[in-house]
Chain A
Amino acid sequence: DGGITQSPKYLFRKEGQNVTLSCEQNLNHDAMYWYRQDPGQGLRLIYYSQIVNDFQKGDIAEGYSVSREKKESFPLTVTSAQKNPTAFYLCASSPGTFHEAEAFFGQGTRLTVV
């Protein structure tokens, strides 16, 4: 089955730790995105990548880092510099830019700082 897979579903982080969220897609999509969702709020863009080996900051990139070494993978690292990392993180992919084609979302990773 084609799709976009995020892991883990739940993640707990101690203060001061870096954690990495996985996002893999087998849809052969060029573009991939990371969004953050806080309770009762919309989705805010963290980082996006339109092609392998290239990525751009979104609206709330501070405290996060990404890599795009393979077309199918776009991992997100939440660093200790992110002051309020507890949130629901969503990865998405699309064949091209958003004004051309629909985006597919993963099932999300819920990160909690303990």
Chain B
Amino acid sequence: GENVEQHPSTLSVQEGDSAVIKCTYSDSASNYFPWYKQELGKGPQLIIDIRSNVGEKKDQRIAVTLNKTAKHFSLHITETQPEDSAVYFCAAPQIQGAQKLVFGQGTRLTINP
């Protein structure tokens, strides 16, 4: 089945700097890679996703890059702001067998003013 590894588990950056979170996956058939942001006590919210037919996608200060050959994808947040502080999860679908979304372990991002 699919296995998703996410690094780092915690990340602290100064306001205005960039943050990068990386994930690797194991199932080469996976074709959809979402990133979720979870604020304290709330459910995860999709912030950006990418499909396997593109290598990069941007949405304002957020971007995701995908390297299918190496089976890894990354979340990039530029010009970080205090409201970016949250836990971020990457995910990848398991295609074979039980069809489900497999999540990384999460990254707690803290933006220091």
Contact = CB atoms under 8 A, between A and B. Distances in A.
A103 B103 contact: no
Interface of B: 6, 30-32, 34, 36, 41-46, 49, 89, 91, 93-95, 98-101, 103-106
B42 A107 contact: yes
A101 B99 CA distance: 12
10 contacts: A42-B103, A43-B89, A58-B100, A97-B99, A98-B32, A99-B31, A99-B99, A106-B43, A107-B43, A108-B42
Q: Is the interface of A mostly helix, strand, loop or mixed?
A: loop
Interface centre among A50, A58, A105, A107 (most CB of B within 10 A): A105
A66 to B, nearest CB: 14
Contacts of B101: 33, 45, 98, 103
Interface centre among B89, B91, B99 (most CB of A within 10 A): B99
Nearest to B9: A40
Contacts of B93: 97-99
A42 B89 CA distance: 8
Interface of A: 6, 33, 40-43, 45, 48, 50, 56, 58, 90, 97-100, 102-108, 110
Nearest to A94: B101
Contact of B32 (A45, A100, A108): A100
